[in-house]
């Protein structure tokens, strides 16, 4: 697989370095290099691009703003993926929010560049993998026992059986695990995560909490105990919780 790439940076030396790195990498093809985000946006209307190596701080239109424009115009996740290249580390959260594939902090070497490029290659190989078309009836697929969470700039696999409870924190969720004292922080909403979790294993009991049912150690009419943590049950979820409670009594 060969990925069509463009480089966008208003610094000539940085633009030249990224362009050289792209041309040096066997599975990348340099489709263009641009000194402004506006030039790149115009070029994207006329050519198919898989990956944009994009600087953030540029005049007229920043890399973050370009990423937002592309995100608003793309349907169903189609369109180029972005790898930010910047000298400033305070844009990591903004890059995360526009679903950047990776974030290269200047100055970076070819090894770091290749790591990000390889991640892009793996992504496109995954989404372009053909679906199986077996003619004979097949056995039902085994039920999923885990999910992937986006943590920083990677997908982390988390086993359902390892989850104690999940706490919502505005734009983030904090997933508390049995195997670690340090929770996983992922940029997603509690509602979005609730929709992905199997109802037979997890239950929403509060606007800020989802609990793993098999990790409950004790409960009352208004609260749940998981180990030494007490989780309140809010009125909004009281009916569902009461139905579950009745099974215990």
Q: Are residues 40 and 75 in the same domain?
A: yes
Nearby residues of 39 by Cβ (< 8 Å), 6 or more positions away = 8
Confidence of residue 27 (pLDDT cuts 50, 70, 90): very high
d(CA 48, CA 2) in angstroms, rounded, equals 12
Query: How many independent structural domains does the chain possess?
Result: 2
The domain boundary residue, chosen from 94, 127, 160: 127
Q: Are residues 194 and 242 in the same domain?
A: yes
Reply yes or no on whether the pLDDT at 131 is more than 60.
Answer: no
Q: Are residues 160 and 107 in the same domain?
A: no
Indicate whether 137 belongs to any domain.
no
Indicate whether 235 belongs to any domain.
yes
The domain boundary residue, chosen from 127, 159, 193: 127
Indicate whether 82 belongs to any domain.
yes
Beta strand 184-186 pairing with 172-177:
antiparallel
d(CA 23, CA 6) in angstroms, rounded, equals 11
Indicate whether 138 belongs to any domain.
no
Q: Are residues 111 and 73 in the same domain?
A: yes
26-52 average pLDDT score: 93
| Three-state secondary structure readout of the chain | CCEEEEEECCCHHHHHHHHHHHHHCCCEEEEEEECCHHHHHHHHCCCCCCEEEEECCCCCCCHHHHHHHHHHHCCCCCCCEEEEEECCHHHHHHHHHCCCCEEEECCCCHHHHHHHHHHHHHHHHHHCCCCCCCCCCCCCCCCCCEEEEEECCEEEEEEHHHEEEEEEECCEEEEEECCCCCCEEECCCHHHHHHHCCCCCEEEEECCEEEEHHHCCEECCCEEEECCEEEECCHHHHHHHHHHHHCCC
The domain boundary residue, chosen from 98, 127, 156: 127
Q: Are residues 13 and 121 in the same domain?
A: yes
Q: Which domain holds residue 224?
A: 147-246
Q: Are residues 100 and 24 in the same domain?
A: yes
Beta pairing partners, 163: 177
Q: Are residues 38 and 103 in the same domain?
A: yes
Indicate whether 136 belongs to any domain.
no
CATH number of the CATH domain containing 171: 2.40.50.1020
Indicate whether 175 belongs to any domain.
yes
Q: Are residues 100 and 181 in the same domain?
A: no
pLDDT at 171: 80
Tens digit of each residue's pLDDT (9 = 90 or more) over 132-182: 544 455 555 555 788 888 887 778 889 999 999 999 988 889 999 999 889
pLDDT at 243: 78
Tens digit of each residue's pLDDT (9 = 90 or more) over 51-61: 999 999 898 89
Indicate whether 139 belongs to any domain.
no
Indicate whether 140 belongs to any domain.
no
CATH number of the CATH domain containing 25: 3.40.50.2300
Q: Are residues 166 and 232 in the same domain?
A: yes
> Which of 36, 41, 31, 32 shows the shortest CA–CA distance to 11?
36
Q: Are residues 107 and 48 in the same domain?
A: yes
Q: Are residues 12 and 110 in the same domain?
A: yes
Confidence of residue 34 (pLDDT cuts 50, 70, 90): very high
CB–CB of 149/175 below 8 Å? yes
Q: Are residues 35 and 107 in the same domain?
A: yes
């Amino acid at each position: 697989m060969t990925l069509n790439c463009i480089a966008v940076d208003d610094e000539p030396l940085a633009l030249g370095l990224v362009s050289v790195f792209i041309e040096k990498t066997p599975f990348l093809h340099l489709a263009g290099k641009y000194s402004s985000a506006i030039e790149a946006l115009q070029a994207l209307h006329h050519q198919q691009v898989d990956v944009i190596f994009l600087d953030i701080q540029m005049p007229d239109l920043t890399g973050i703003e370009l990423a937002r424009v592309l995100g608003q115009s793309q349907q169903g996740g189609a369109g180029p993926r972005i790898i930010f290249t910047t000298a400033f580390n305070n844009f990591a959260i903004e890059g995360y929010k526009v679903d950047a594939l990776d974030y290269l902090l200047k100055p970076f070497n070819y090894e770091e560049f290749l790591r990000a490029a390889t991640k892009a290659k793996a992504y496109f190989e995954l989404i372009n993998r053909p679906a199986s078309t077996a003619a004979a009836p097949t056995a039902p697929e085994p039920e999923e026992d885990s999910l992937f969470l986006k943590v920083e700039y990677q997908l982390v696999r988390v086993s359902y059986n390892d989850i104690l409870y999940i706490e919502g924190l505005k734009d983030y969720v904090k997933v508390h695990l049995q195997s670690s004292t340090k929770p996983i922080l992922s940029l997603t909403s509690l509602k979005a995560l609730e929709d992905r979790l199997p109802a037979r294993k997890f239950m929403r009991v509060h606007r800020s909490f989802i609990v793993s049912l098999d990790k409950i150690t004790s409960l009352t009419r208004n609260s749940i105990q998981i180990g030494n943590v007490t989780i309140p049950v809010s009125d909004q979820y009281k009916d569902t919780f009461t139905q579950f409670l009745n099974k215990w009594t």
